[in-house]
Amino acid sequence: MNKGFKTTILLILIVLFATSFVERKNGETYLRDMNCIAIVELAAEHAFSKKQIEKFHEYNKKKFDIYQSYPEGHLLSNQIIRNKIKHKARLKKNGEKYLNSALFNCGFSEKF
C-alpha cells in the first residue's frame, strides 16, 4: 500500500510539472503574438507611408491571421497599443534595421 501511494504521488507530480510547462509555453506564445501584432501593425503603417501597398496588404493579412488564431476578445487591445508605442519609439531611434529584426523575430524572412 505504501509503495502504491508513493507511485501515485510521483505520477501526480509529473503530470503537474508537464501541465505547468505547457501553460508557460502557451503564455509565452500569447505574449509573442501580441508583440508581433504590434510590430506588424507598425510595419503596415510604415509601408503605407512609403506607398508600398503590396507590403501593406501582406502585413495586414499576417495581423489578421494572428488575430484569427485566438477566440474573439482574447487579445488585449490596450496591451497591443502599448507594445506598438514602444516599438514606434525604437523604430524612430534605430530606423528600419530595428523593424527588420523585429519582423524576423515574428517569422518574416524578407527585409522591409
What residue spans define the domains of the chain? Answer: 30-105
Q: How many CB atoms lie under 10 A from the CB of residue 3? A: 7
Task: Name the CA dihedral angle for 101, 87, 27, 17, rounded to a multiple of 10 degrees.
Answer: 60
pTM above 0.85, yes or no: no
Amino acid identity, residue 20? Answer: S
Euclidean distance between CA atoms 40 and 49, whole angstroms: 14
- Residue 89 corresponds to which cell in the numbers above? 519609439
> What tens-digit pLDDT sequence spans the chain (112 residues)?
577 777 777 767 676 655 554 444 466 788 889 999 999 999 999 999 999 999 999 999 999 998 888 888 777 788 889 999 999 999 999 988 999 999 998 888 766 6
